[in-house]
Chains A and B, each alone.
Chain A
Amino acid sequence: KAGVTQTPRYLIKTRGQQVTLSCSPISGHRSVSWYQQTPGQGLQFLFEYFSETQRNKGNFPGRFSGRQFSNSRSEMNVSTLELGDSALYLCASSLVSGALKETQYFGPGTRLLVL
């Protein structure tokens, strides 16, 4: 069974631009969560989508948004990029919603550099 895939793996953008990251969960998984990892803040939860609905959201500004499609694939969008948005963005999938109920499986991440 294929794992979680994220595209692109690496991305370079400039301040003010917007970016869209994609995540394809493990086949059959309906929950997708997004995390931001930076050296300073560590791993932080962004949001979770389940059955095309945002179920949970972390403490990030409205510039960070996401969506989930009927095939459970998810996209994350960051608008008006700032230097501080440079990070590794990790996607995780699970069968059902919530870390309590199911183990989350992580993708390799998208490394975003904002210049």
Chain B
Amino acid sequence: AQKVTQAQTEISVVEKEDVTLDCVYETRDTTYYLFWYKQPPSGELVFLIRRNSFDEQNEISGRYSWNFQKSTSSFNFTITASQVVDSAVYFCALSEADRDDKIIFGKGTRLHILP
């Protein structure tokens, strides 16, 4: 069965600190996609990244970086030098190739960046 676990319900860090959001997934498929979305207080989900199961290269985009490890079924997200504008709920999601492209979301991690 497919499942996404974001064990951290809520995290608070002081501005400029680095923070890592954990995501662990379960799937029986060999072909799948992983996503991270950001949901600011306005409610709109903002796409951050999509990674397929065959690409384990870590990715960096500005202050954001993602660490994909199939061996531990994890797809963690790190924000470096956090800023107050990073405060939001972050969702990790999984979509399996054989499951009609449905996306399964984790419960989300609420991130507070304190000034």
Report if A99-B101 is in contact (Cβ < 8 Å); known contacts: A42-B106, A42-B107, A43-B91.
Answer: yes
Q: A88, A101, A105, A106: which contacts B101 (Cβ < 8 A)?
A: A101
Contacts of B43 in A (CB 8 A): 88, 90, 108-109, 111
Among B44-52, B68-76, B79-87, which stretch is in contact with chain A? B44-52
With A100-B33, A100-B95 already in contact, the answer to whether A107 and B103 are too (CB < 8 A) is no
Known: A48-B102, A109-B44. 17 other contacts (CB 8 A): A42-B106, A48-B101, A55-B100, A56-B102, A58-B102, A90-B43, A98-B100, A98-B101, A99-B33, A99-B35, A99-B102, A100-B33, A101-B101, A103-B50, A105-B47, A106-B45, A106-B47
22 contacts between A and B (CB under 8 A): A42-B105, A43-B93, A43-B105, A45-B102, A56-B101, A88-B43, A92-B45, A99-B33, A99-B101, A99-B102, A100-B33, A100-B95, A100-B97, A101-B101, A103-B47, A103-B50, A104-B47, A106-B37, A106-B46, A106-B47, A108-B42, A108-B43
In the assembled complex, how far is the CB of residue B27 from the closest CB belonging to chain A, in whole angstroms? 13
For A33, give the chain B residue with the smallest CB separation.
B103
* C-alpha gap A45/B100 in the complex (Å): 12
B residues sitting closer than 8 Å to A (CB atoms) are 33, 35, 37, 42-47, 50, 91, 93, 95, 97, 100-108
Q: Which 8 A-B pairs have the closest CB atoms?
A: A98-B101, A106-B45, A43-B105, A108-B44, A109-B43, A99-B95, A42-B107, A56-B100
Q: Which residue of A lies closest to B42 (CB)?
A: A108
Which of B45, B46, B103 sits near A99, CB closer than 8 Å? Answer: B103
| Pairwise interchain contact B47-A100, C-beta atoms closer than 8 A | no
Q: How far is the CB of B49 from chain A (nearest CB, A)?
A: 10
Q: State in angstroms the CA–CA spacing of A45 and B101 once bound together.
A: 11
Task: Give every chain A residue within 8 A of B97 (Cβ-Cβ).
Answer: 100
Contacts of A99 in B (CB 8 A): 33, 35, 95, 101-103
In the complex, whether A97 has a CB less than 8 A from a CB of chain B is yes
Q: How far apart are the CA atoms of A108 and B42 in the complex, in Å?
A: 7
Q: Give Cα A63–Cα B38 distance, bound, in whole angstroms.
A: 30
Please measure, in the bound complex, the distance between the C-alpha atom of A55 and the C-alpha atom of B101, giving whole angstroms: 10
